[in-house]
């Protein structure tokens, strides 16, 4: 029962819709034809114009323009006479049968290895209008005596081979012997200190594309590159010049880059008290043979490690310039070299006098480890007065030397433990004055 139903449903559709024709609107046909035309244009069909033909026409047009533009670059006749005088023949002569290096006169094509022979011939004969560019021809030079070769007829097929061989000959010649070639570029300098920046200017306007190699330093294809040699060494800068897509010349120059000295120095002591203290300049430079110090106050020195005493305090800029054997220099500038030498005076708030008797108050950092003398720590104090009073306001001690403090004794008697008042005033070497008041506790151990 069920199966019967299925068949009937299937049959209904198969019969009614299996081959039904459905009418189409008129617009469908036109849009289909448009699409068809577009698709046909994109497909190759030898019988009809399509995108391949159109593309071919465009390519042919471009090629024609290129050929025309190349033809205009044919060399002027002046150069041809020059060519005939400077020709590479030494390789050629060896292969000829007569082995006569003086002159070869050929009226007909010979059976000799034609490639090399005719290579020369083509270059020589001015009437064979072989397109040769100026740049290439001028660099053909030979140490051999020039040989004149003339030729009356030349088959076109041979010419083509000739050009290829000739180019190869020229290239080999150039590569092997580029010292003899024309100066194709001028470097702005040949020797210098690293980092060495050199500008290269090409001499011929006919070069339209360049390939530069800077030894191990890199390559460039700019027309007038400026190259910075960062590391020292010898670099062969080599230019392969092209015009109209063909190699027309190779030329190289050597650039020498010298190392620079490394400069470094320190000032000792770091917080030098100037002008009182003598300052030592410690030199850590390397790779230098000569030094020039500028102390920043108008004085200079050529010593390796000078000692210098400034006349007065100031914010001096110290410069060390070092020279090596090549004359390369480098320098280090320390602006405001004594900025850290800031003046100050500070007092402690307690001390423990020595019970064994008065010391006189003269102290140093080393002798007063036990804080037996009341004294300030200071830097750059030029003018100084210290007064110490008892609580009752009686002046007990007075000093005008920053190196002499109070030992706790008054007239040979140890003062009583307790609080004392001090007053300090004076001037720093900068000209700035100070005035301080405080109290200090005398301790009894």
Min dist CB 13 to another protein, Å, is: 5
Min dist CB 53 to another protein, Å, is: 14
Min dist CB 56 to another protein, Å, is: 19
Q: Which is nearer to another protein, 50 or 329 (CB)?
A: 50
Q: Which is nearer to another protein, 2 or 435 (CB)?
A: 2
Q: Which is nearer to another protein, 16 or 99 (CB)?
A: 16
Q: Which is nearer to another protein, 4 or 205 (CB)?
A: 4
Q: Which is nearer to another protein, 40 or 91 (CB)?
A: 40
Query: What does the alpha-carbon distance between residue 419 and residue 350 come to, in Å, rounded to a whole number?
Result: 9
For residues 400 and 387, is the Cβ–Cβ distance under 8 A?
no
Q: How many CA atoms lie within 13 A of 219 on its CB side?
A: 5
- Which tokens go with 374? 């009341």
For residues 212 and 221, is the Cβ–Cβ distance under 8 A?
yes
Min dist CB 4 to another protein, Å, is: 7
Min dist CB 30 to another protein, Å, is: 11
Query: What does the alpha-carbon distance between residue 114 and residue 123 come to, in Å, rounded to a whole number?
Result: 14
Q: Which is nearer to another protein, 25 or 156 (CB)?
A: 25
Q: Which is nearer to another protein, 32 or 164 (CB)?
A: 32
Helix (H), strand (E) at residue 241? strand 233-243
For residues 281 and 332, is the Cβ–Cβ distance under 8 A?
no
Min dist CB 59 to another protein, Å, is: 24
Query: What does the alpha-carbon distance between residue 136 and residue 250 come to, in Å, rounded to a whole number?
Result: 10
Q: Which residue has the tokens 């560019």?
A: 133
Min dist CB 37 to another protein, Å, is: 10
Burial of 167 by CB count in 10 Å (0-12 exposed, 13-18 middle, 19+ buried)? middle
For residues 300 and 328, is the Cβ–Cβ distance under 8 A?
no
Min dist CB 60 to another protein, Å, is: 24
Q: Which is nearer to another protein, 2 or 302 (CB)?
A: 2
For residues 341 and 274, is the Cβ–Cβ distance under 8 A?
yes
Min dist CB 21 to another protein, Å, is: 4
For residues 283 and 291, is the Cβ–Cβ distance under 8 A?
yes
Q: Give the residues lining the site for another protein (CB under 8 A).
A: 4-6, 8-24, 28-29, 31-32, 35-36, 39-40, 43, 45, 47-48
Closest-CA residue to 277 (of 343, 331, 348, 361): 343
Q: How many CB atoms lie within 10 A of CB 82?
A: 13
Closest-CA residue to 288 (of 191, 190, 195, 193): 193
Burial of 45 by CB count in 10 Å (0-12 exposed, 13-18 middle, 19+ buried)? exposed
Min dist CB 25 to another protein, Å, is: 8
Q: How many CB atoms lie within 10 A of CB 306?
A: 17
Query: What does the alpha-carbon distance between residue 409 and residue 429 come to, in Å, rounded to a whole number?
Result: 31
């Amino acid at each position: 029962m069920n199966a019967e139903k299925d068949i009937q449903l299937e049959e209904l559709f198969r019969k009614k819709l299996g081959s039904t024709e459905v009418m189409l609107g008129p617009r469908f046909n036109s849009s289909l034809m448009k699409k068809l035309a577009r698709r046909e244009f994109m497909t190759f069909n030898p019988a009809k114009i399509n995108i391949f033909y159109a593309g071919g026409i465009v390519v042919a047009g471009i090629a024609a323009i290129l050929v025309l533009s190349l033809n205009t670059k044919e060399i002027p006749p002046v150069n041809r006479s020059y060519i005939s005088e400077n020709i590479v023949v030494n390789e050629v002569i060896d292969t000829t049968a007569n082995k006569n290096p003086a002159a070869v006169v050929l009226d007909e094509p010979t059976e000799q290895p034609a490639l090399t022979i005719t290579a020369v011939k083509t270059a020589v004969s001015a009437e064979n209008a072989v397109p040769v560019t100026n740049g290439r021809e001028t660099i053909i030079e030979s140490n051999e005596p020039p040989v004149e070769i003339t030729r009356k007829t030349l088959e076109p097929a041979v010419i083509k081979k000739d050009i290829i061989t000739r180019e190869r000959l020229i290239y080999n010649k150039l590569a092997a012997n580029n010292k003899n070639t024309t100066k194709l570029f001028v470097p702005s300098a040949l020797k210098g200190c690293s980092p060495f920046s050199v500008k290269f200017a090409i001499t011929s306007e006919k070069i339209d594309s360049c390939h530069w190699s800077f030894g191990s330093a890199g390559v460039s294809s700019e027309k007038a590159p400026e190259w910075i040699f960062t590391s020292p060494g010898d670099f062969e800068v080599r230019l392969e010049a092209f015009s109209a897509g063909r190699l027309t010349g190779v030329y190289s120059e050597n650039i020498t880059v010298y190392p620079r000295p490394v400069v470094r120095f320190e000032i000792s002591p770091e917080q030098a008290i100037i002008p009182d203290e003598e300052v030592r300049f410690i030199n850590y430079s390397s790779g230098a043979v000569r030094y020039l110090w500028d102390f920043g106050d108008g004085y200079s020195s050529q010593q390796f490690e000078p000692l210098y005493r400034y006349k007065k305090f100031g914010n001096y800029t110290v410069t060390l310039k070092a020279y090596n054997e090549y004359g390369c220099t480098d320098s280090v500038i320390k602006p405001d070299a004594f900025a850290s030498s800031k003046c100050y005076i500070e007092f402690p708030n307690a001390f423990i006098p020595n019970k064994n008797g008065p010391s006189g108050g003269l102290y140093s950092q080393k002798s007063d480890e036990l804080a037996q003398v009341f004294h300030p720590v200071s830097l750059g104090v030029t003018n100084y007065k210290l007064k110490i009073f008892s609580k009752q306001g009686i002046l007990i001690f007075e000093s005008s030397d920053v190196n002499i403090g109070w030992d706790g004794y008054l007239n040979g008697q140890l003062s009583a433990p307790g609080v004392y008042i001090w007053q300090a005033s004076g001037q720093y070497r900068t000209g700035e004055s100070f005035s301080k008041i405080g109290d200090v506790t005398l301790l009894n151990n």
